[in-house]
Amino acid sequence: MKSQIISLIVDASESAAPFWKETAQTVADLIKMLPQDAVEGIYLLGSAVRWTSAQWHEALPFPVAARKGGSFITPICTGWQQLHFDPTAAVIIGAGEVFDLLDWVEKGEEWLLIRTDEDSLQAAQGRVREFQAAELEQVVVLLQAGTGVFQPPRVPYLTGSVAQQWRVDRAGFPMVWIPPLKAYVHLFPITKAQFEVFLTQAELPDIGDHWYQQLLSYNPRLSISSINFNNYERLCITGLLPEELQAYAAWQGPSFRCLSMQEWQCAAKWISQQSISVPPADIENNMSLMARRTWAALLSVLEPRTLCELSLMFGGVVEWVEGPNNIFLGMGRPRQRFQPGLAKSPWLPTSPPRRAKIWGGRLMVTA
Q: Do you find a cis peptide bond into 153, omega within 30 degrees of 0?
A: no
As a whole number of Å, the end-to-end CA separation of the chain is: 55
Question: Which of 190, 290, 295 has the alpha carbon at shortest distance from 248?
Answer: 190
DSSP string for 194-229: HHHHHHHHS--TT-SHHHHHHHHTTS----GGG--T
pTM: 0.92
Distance of CA 313 to the CA centre of its chain: 21
pLDDT on residue 179: 96
In whole angstroms, what is the distance from residue 194 CA to residue 301 CA? 20
Would you tell me how many other CB atoms lie within 10 Å of the CB of residue 141? 9
- 319 forms beta bridges with 331, 360
Stretch (H or E) spanning 360: strand 359-360
Q: What is the pLDDT of residue 1?
A: 45
Q: Which among 255, 272, 254, 267 is positioned nearest to 321, based on CA atoms?
A: 267
119-139 in b/e form (b: 16+ CB < 10 A) is ebbbbeebebebbebeebeeb
H/E segment holding residue 256: strand 256-258
The domains of the chain, with CATH numbers, are: 6-145 (3.40.50), 166-365 (no CATH)
Give percent helix, percent strand, percent coil of the chain, each to the nearest 5: 35, 20, 45
Stretch (H or E) spanning 298? helix 289-302
pLDDT for 107: 65
- pLDDT tens, the chain, 367 aa long: 457 899 999 999 888 889 999 999 999 999 999 998 899 999 999 988 999 999 999 999 998 776 667 899 999 999 998 888 889 899 999 999 999 999 998 766 689 999 999 889 998 777 889 999 999 999 999 888 876 677 778 888 888 888 899 999 999 999 999 999 999 999 999 999 999 999 998 877 778 889 999 999 999 999 898 999 999 999 999 999 999 999 999 999 999 999 999 999 999 999 999 999 899 999 999 999 999 999 999 999 999 989 999 999 999 999 999 988 888 989 988 998 888 876 666 676 766 678 899 999 999 998 7
3-class secondary-structure state, position 77: helix
Core vs surface per residue 78-98: b (16+ CB within 10 A) or e: bebbeeeeebbbbbbbbbbbb
Q: Contact at 8 Å (CB) between 305 and 185?
A: no
pLDDT at 357: 92
User: Are the C-beta atoms of 318 and 347 separated by less than 8 Å?
Assistant: yes
Which of 335, 364, 365 shows the shortest CA–CA distance to 189?
364
Q: Is residue 282 helix, strand or coil?
A: helix
